[in-house]
Amino acid sequence: MIFKWLKGPEYLMKKILLLTTGGTIASEPTKEGLAPGMDGNEFAAYLSGLSVNHQIQIKNLYQLDSSNIQPEEWQGMARAVADEFQQYDGIVMTHGTDTMAYTASMLSFMLQNLPVPVVLTGSQLPIRHPLSDGFENLRCAFAMASSGRAGVFVAFDRKIMLGTRAVKVRTTGFDAFESVNCPYAAVVDSAGLNLNEAVLPKPSGNFQLIDNLCDNVILIKLTPGLNPEIFDMLLKMRYRGIVIEAFGAGGLNFIRRDLISKLHQIVQAGITVVVCSQCLYERSDFTIYQAGQKALESGVLQAYDMTTEAAVTKLMWALGQTDRPEEIRQIFSTCYAGEVSLT
């Protein structure tokens, strides 16, 4: 990997917008457990070290546990970035860790050809806690936001990941996120912020905010013996998209409980079905096994090496733009933000 070290005036005193949305980093103890309690202005007391090298403006968007971040909040975040980015060199967004990967993926699709860095970060301990990891995560996020490298990123534990590749893999460890099926966009070590230019997005046109989405999408993890009739219920509930985490490289049962025939019926009824792997690493390939080839014949779409979070949000985003199967297939055949390796 080829890295570049950004240092000195190249990234000093950049103008950075801090958008706060709640999460653990902003939480305080209550009788019912930790809950977001700090607003954006209260963060100012914890940014004195960062303000030496950055001009910081703070805007409070939400005070939510990230379990309560939903499609409406994604649209609000994307619109806030679209309204503000021209006034800043970069944007940092604090966010709860539990759904950060979903938010980062969705923003990557909504903010097409974004010309500045937008960096999501948070912490495993509240920033008021004396041992919080929030300080270090913020420092790394601000460094990336000052880098001039466009795109949506997640900064955590001295690692910078593409927004479409970050996955939360630990519940309590400070190294909570990993970049799945993609090298880090940057790492922070004794040499500073080391960028991997081969991973960084390359804007190819004018910025576009494309924030329409469809929230009638469901994720199902395949288990041995799953009753295919569950998909009839989803059809009655008027779901428009289904993401299935299949076995291995793309296995789906078709003996006794014929899931593949049922999926064919669902696709014919107008529901888009995307299939990814339950395995965290490497790609699905439906051409290897009989079950996979039968699935392709039924009309499902492959997610290849996409994360589950990226597959779900990309399907929601695609269905927000069109209900035409051929156009949705074209969207899934296009890499927009480093989310998939198509070769």
- Residues catalogued as catalytic: 24
CA–CA distance, 230 with 299 (Å, rounded to integer)? 18
Give the burial string for 80-104 (b: 16+ CB within 10 Å, else e): bbbeebeebbbbbbbbbbbbbbbbb
CA–CA distance, 97 with 133 (Å, rounded to integer)? 12
DSSP state of 247: B
Number of CB atoms found within 10 A of residue 56's CB? 18
Closest CA to 335 of 291, 308, 304: 304
Number of CB atoms found within 10 A of residue 45's CB? 10
Closest CA to 95 of 128, 118, 129: 118
Dihedral over Cα of 30, 32, 34, 35: its sign: negative
